[in-house]
Amino acid sequence: MIIPTLLILASVPVVSPNLPMDVPEVNVPFACGRIYPVSQAHDTGSHKFNDTYAWDFRMPVGTPIVSARDGVVRMARGDSTEGGCDEKYAPMANYVVVSHGDGLETQYLHFSAVVVKPGEHVKQGQLLGFSGETGWACGAHLHFKVARETGRGWNNPSVPARIVGYGDPVRDVRVAAPLCREPQNNIVAAQEPSRTGEAMVSLSPAADEAQQAPSGIPPGAKSVLDSLSQPPAQGGEGLRKTRPASPVRGTASARETP
C-alpha cells in the first residue's frame, strides 16, 4: 500500500519542549482519514484566559467532529444558526463538552449540527456533530481544548495537553486523524476532501463513492440529524463568568482569517 506523502508529513510528531511530561494526552478530535492544519495554537491571538491552551483547526463546514476520549456528554448545544467575525457572537456558538471522569473534560466549539445529548456516553472516535462557524468565528473551524472541570458552565479553564502523535502542535502544523478501517466509520468518512487541498484518506469503498450533500453534511448523516432534536443552550455561565482567581474575558472562539 502506498501512503500519500501528505499523510506521512502530517504524521511527524511536533512536540513542544515547554510542556511537562505529565500533561494529559488526547486523540485527534476529527474524523478518521482527515488532515487539517492548526490555525491558532496556545497562548496566541484570542487564546487567552480560559482558552489559553486551546487549538483551532481550519476545516470546511460539515467536517465530522469526534470525541477525543471516552466520556459522558456533560453539555451540548445545537440550536444556534448565528455566527460572525465579532466578539458579540461568542455566546451563540454551538458546542459539546465531554466529561472524562478524572476531573478533565474536552470542549468542542462552532458546530453546524450536534448529534449527541447531555448524559450520553461516548467512546473515543464517536461522532459528536459537524463543524461550522456558529459563534465568534471569522471562518469555519473547530475550537478544541482540554479543560479542568471546575464549574457548571461550558467554558471552564483550559489546561496544558498533548495530542497523540503530535505533542503540542503549533500554527500551520497539519494534524492527521488515523485512517478509516471499519464499516461503521462510513458516515464520518463520507465527506469529500476540502476544496483548499486538505487530504482525506479512506479505506471504506462506500465512503469513496459518496457525494457531499449541498448542506455540507455527509450523505447518510442527514437521517441521523433528522431523528434528533437539537440540544438547546444550557448553563448560563458564558464567556465573561468571573472566577475567584481572575476575571475571564477570553473568547470561546479563536479569530480565524477568512
pLDDT of residue 183: 55
User: Residue 167 in contact with residue 13, Cβ under 8 Å?
Assistant: yes
User: Residue 69 in contact with residue 59, Cβ under 8 Å?
Assistant: no
Q: Residue 165: left if φ>0, alpha if ψ -120 to 50, beta else—which one?
A: left
CA dihedral angle for residue 75, residue 138, residue 253, residue 19, rounded to 10 degrees: 130
Least confident of 9-18, 121-130, 180-189: 9-18
Least confident of 15-24, 37-46, 73-82, 184-193: 184-193
78: Cβ–Cβ under 8 A, 6 or more apart, which residues? 94, 111, 113, 114, 115, 129, 230, 231
Whether 176 has a pLDDT exceeding 60, the answer reads yes
pLDDT-derived band at 42 (thresholds 50, 70, 90) equals confident
Mean pLDDT, residues 62-66 taken together: 96
Mean pLDDT, residues 174-198 taken together: 59
R_g (Cα) of the chain, nearest Å: 17
Domain ranges for the chain: 7-14+23-225
Q: Per-residue pLDDT tens for 138-165?
A: 999 999 999 999 999 888 999 999 999 9
Q: Which residues of 212-241 are buried (b: 16+ CB within 10 A; e: fewer)?
A: eeeebbbbbbeeebeeeebbebbbeeebeb
pLDDT of residue 248: 32
Mean predicted lDDT score pLDDT of the chain: 74
pLDDT of residue 77: 96
pLDDT-derived band at 182 (thresholds 50, 70, 90) equals low
The whole-angstrom separation of Cα 125 and Cα 166 is: 17
Q: Does domain 7-14+23-225 have CATH number 3.40.50.720?
A: no
Q: Hey, what amino acid is at 193? A: P
pLDDT-derived band at 200 (thresholds 50, 70, 90) equals very low
pLDDT-derived band at 21 (thresholds 50, 70, 90) equals low
pLDDT-derived band at 226 (thresholds 50, 70, 90) equals low
Whether 53 has a pLDDT exceeding 70, the answer reads yes
pLDDT-derived band at 50 (thresholds 50, 70, 90) equals confident
Q: Hey, what amino acid is at 120? A: E
Q: Per-residue pLDDT tens for 81-139?
A: 999 999 899 999 999 999 999 999 999 999 999 999 999 999 999 999 999 999 999 99
